[in-house]
Structures are given as structure tokens and as C-alpha cells.
Amino acid sequence: MLYHVRMDVRLPPDLDPAERTDIIAREKAYSQRLQREGKWPQLWRIAGEYANFSILDVADHDELHTLLSGLPLFPYMDIEVTPLATHPSKVMG
């Protein structure tokens, strides 16, 4: 199943700099592993914001929830999920 996901990151301004560096490095490693596995085929930065639009390709809602809640930045994110369906006018090829 495909999902369009918007993730807005809201790190606390008083977060310890070492903790910030660590959590961002763990986030990058986690997300890149999911990209290599094909579960996160699209990742786009939203210009001017600490946010992204992503397309995730997972088996079901439960897998999506597990994947998102496993993000190291998850406690600091506002996440909006939209399930996607094939449009009837899409040219299949």
C-alpha cells in the first residue's frame, strides 16, 4: 500500500546539542535503510521548513505505524498520513 506522509520536525530549542546530533544521525541511518529496502521510495524536503513529503510503500496500516513510530525523531514530529489509491485515469505501463 502506498501512503503520502508529511512529517514536520519540532525539536525543542533547549535540546542538548550532543543529543540532537545523535538523534539526527540515527534518523538518517534508519530512513536510509528503509529507502534501500524499498519501503521509502520517495523523500522530498519542503523548502524552507524542517519537514518532508514522503511516499511510503508498505504492506498495511500496521506496518506503516511501526515504521513511523520507529523513527528516532518520532517524539518530535507532527505527522499527517494520506493513504493512496490508483487513479482510474492513470496510464498503466
pLDDT in tens, 9-32: 999 999 999 999 999 999 999 999
| Cα R_g (the chain), whole angstroms | 15
pLDDT of 93 strictly over 80: no
Phi/psi of residue 27, nearest 5 degrees: -60, -45
pLDDT attached to residue 31: 98
pLDDT attached to residue 21: 97
Strand ranges in 1-91 using DSSP code E only, listed in sequence order: 2-9, 42-45, 51-57, 77-84
Q: Which domains does the chain have, with CATH numbers?
A: 2-84 (3.30.70.1060)
Between CA 90 and CA 49 the distance in angstroms is 31
Reduce the DSSP state of residue 83 to 3 states and report it: strand
pLDDT in tens, 22-81: 999 999 999 999 999 999 999 999 999 999 999 999 999 999 999 999 999 999 999 999
